[in-house]
Structure 1
Amino acid sequence: MAVSKQTVMAIKSYQNQAENLVKNHLLSDPIIPYTSIIAGILACKVIYNLTQLFSALYFKSYAGLNKVQRIEWNNRGISTVHALFIAAMSLYFVYWSDLYADYQTNGYVTFRSSTLSTFTLGVSVGYFIADLAMIMWLYPSLGGIEYVIHHSLSGIAVAYAMFSGEGQLYTFMVLISEVTTPEINMRWFLDTAGLKRSHAYLINGIVIFFAWLVARILLFVYMFYHVYLHYEQVMQMHVFGFILVLVVPSVLAAMNLMWFGKILRGLKKTLAKRQ
């Protein structure tokens, strides 16, 4: 059935109106931080519901979980999706986009930002707000004080980079470390499903070890080296931003080393049982 010219024009008109709404309102510079945060929180709610629905239909072990375990299962679905999203976007901005490239001459690297980078950080802030709220609501079932510290520091640092436009490069460098979250969540899923003695559990432990080493140890060393090379530009930041660039990654790096020690001990114990 042929589509009339009037129908095509009407569809095009609605399309143009939608594009203008997104461009001039939802993605306009002054309100991008707020719309992106709301988008992040709403996305968390949608993913939570989809995880609940999908798991109930396709995972038999889900029905046998208690209420708190089901909430954590769904919560880990949210963190997995966020990790995949923010890690992919962070890798793009740090290694593929020319936004923060040294050969660019549009100002200091510590003050560069774009509509997309700001929106991306806002979505991440929305996630940290939603996840921290769930952690506090069910404390300490979803995580102890170390998770509260991690999420609080991360949320503050990401929010500052988003609102001020300062230090976004280093924020994305740190957020690349979220690439380890899906593996950590998978380990919990396997454990909860009673597959602790499976080959998948062993492989998962090995993957976590190497992913953690690269993304949360070596990458942080590279970030500190980058800060050293661009220290004069870092010094031009507001004192609060300057402190965040130095203090937050340092605290997170210390926590990463602590967790890495636990991962190493756990892997050794698992391998010893296999012998």
Structure 2
Amino acid sequence: MAMKSYRYQAEILVKDYLLADPFVRYTSVLGGIFMCKMAYDFTQLISSFYFKGYASLTKIQRIEWNNRGMSNAHAVFITLMSLYLVFFSELFSDSIEGLVTFRNSNLSTFTLGVSVGYFMTDLAMIFWLYPSLGGMEYVLHHVLSIISISYSMLSGEGQLYTYMVLISETTTPGINLRWFLDTAGMKRSSAYLVNGVAMFFAWLIARIFLFLYLFYHIYLHYDQIRQMHTFGYLLSFLVPIVLFAMNMMWFGKILKGLKKMLAKRQ
């Protein structure tokens, strides 16, 4: 009975406060920042116990190590939520009447807020240690992400396309694992090779093919996009195009690196 009572109280807390209309935007961003702090500290704790080489890393390497653990936590969360909302929930399905560009829910808005909290935290760390955690391309990526996700969260417009773009975060764990293996001195290991191949295909699907589908979807629903606010209308085209160009640039580097790695294995 006690467990049922606690569960009921937790559900009331989530429904009436965390996901309530007046608070959802604020609690979600704070929740995202809190998630980052927890993931950063958890990565530091686990690594110090289970990775013997962690103590021998430089200070900046340990910070980046923990930062990438934080990045993985967000990537797993936002990928699962994006896949669910886009492909499995009824929020953006054809069975619901109304313009798809204006559909949103408390859950979808809350999820976007968590992502905003992450990108704000990560961008602050990038500026704090610039350029150790990433150069201007990362700053541009994060600024565009914060602007577009925040607008979608606050206005409720274009959330479908925002989630389609956020699915590309599925490639992040592979990128981080590559850095972990390299830093741990395992660049010549089979795990490094397998991760490189997996990263190539994941990038091709999530950041190339998915974006092409996104552009096709925008083309089919252009009459609905035209009814969005001017700023949202511009974001619907500008952000995907810029990110796609960056994805193609990074994909070229991934392909070049994979070819070089396979050549050394022969």
- Opposite residue 126 of structure 1, the aligned amino acid is G
Which whole-Å deviations, capped at 9, do the CAs of 1:141-175 have from their partners, x for residues lacking one? 00000000001101111111111100000000000
Deviation at 1:17? 5.0
Indicate yes or no: 2:91 matched with 1:96: no
Render the CA deviation track for 1:9-67: whole Å, top value 9, x for unaligned. Answer: 8983x665554443222221121011000000011001101100000000011111000
Say if 2:172 is the partner of 1:181.
yes
2: CA distance, partners of 1:148 / 1:43:
21
Check whether the contact 2:19–2:107 (CA below 8 A) recurs between aligned residues. no
Aligned to 1:123: 114
Q: Does 1:209 align with 2:200?
A: yes
Secondary structure (helix, strand or coil) at the match of 1:73 reads helix
Match among 62, 66, 76 for residue 70 of structure 1: 62
Whether 2:51 is the aligned partner of 1:59: answer yes
Mapped partners of 2:87, 2:9: distance in 1: 35
In structure 2, how many angstroms separate the alpha carbons of the residues matched to 1:218 and 1:20?
41
1:5 aligned residue: none
2: CA distance between counterparts of 1:66 and 1:21? 42
The question of 1:33 aligning with 2:25 is answered: yes
Residue 135, structure 1, aligned to residue 94, structure 2: no
Distance 1:210 1:23 in 2: 39
Cα distance in structure 2, aligned partners of 1:9 and 1:47:
30
Partner of 1:87: 79
Matched, 1:230 2:221: yes
Distance 1:9 1:41 in 2: 31
Instruction: Among all aligned residue pairs of Structure 1 and Structure 2, give the percentage whose two residues are the same amino acid.
Output: 67
Local SS of the residue matching 1:139: coil
Q: CA separation in 2, counterparts of 1:111 and 1:201?
A: 43
Scaled by the length of structure 1, the TM-score of the pair is: 0.94
* Distance (Å, rounded) in 1 between the aligned partners of 2:256 and 2:9: 57
Which structure's CA Rg is the greater one? 1
State TM-score, norm by structure 2: 0.97
Separation in structure 1 between the aligned mates of residue 4 and residue 263 of structure 2, nearest angstrom: 65
Secondary structure of the residue aligned to 1:101 is: coil
Alpha-carbon separation, structure 1, partners of 2:15 and 2:232: 29
- Separation in 2 of the partners of 1:240 and 1:41? 26
| Distance in 2 (alpha carbons) for counterparts of 1:9 and 1:212 | 47
* CA separation of 1:9 and 1:171: change in aligned 2, threshold 3 A: closer
Tell me how large the CA RMSD over aligned residues is.
Answer: 1.4
- Give the C-alpha shift of residue 98 in structure 1: 1.3
Query: Using a 3 Å threshold, how does the CA distance of structure 1 residues 232 and 198 change in structure 2: closer, same or farther?
Result: same
The answer to whether the aligner puts 1:254 opposite 2:245 as a matched pair is yes
Structure 2 residues without counterparts, runs of 5 or longer: none
| 1:196-246 superposed Cα distances (whole Å, 9 cap, x missing partner) | 011111111111111000000000000000000000001110000011110
Equivalent position of 2:146 in the other structure:
155
Which runs of 5 or more residues in structure 1 are unaligned? 1-7
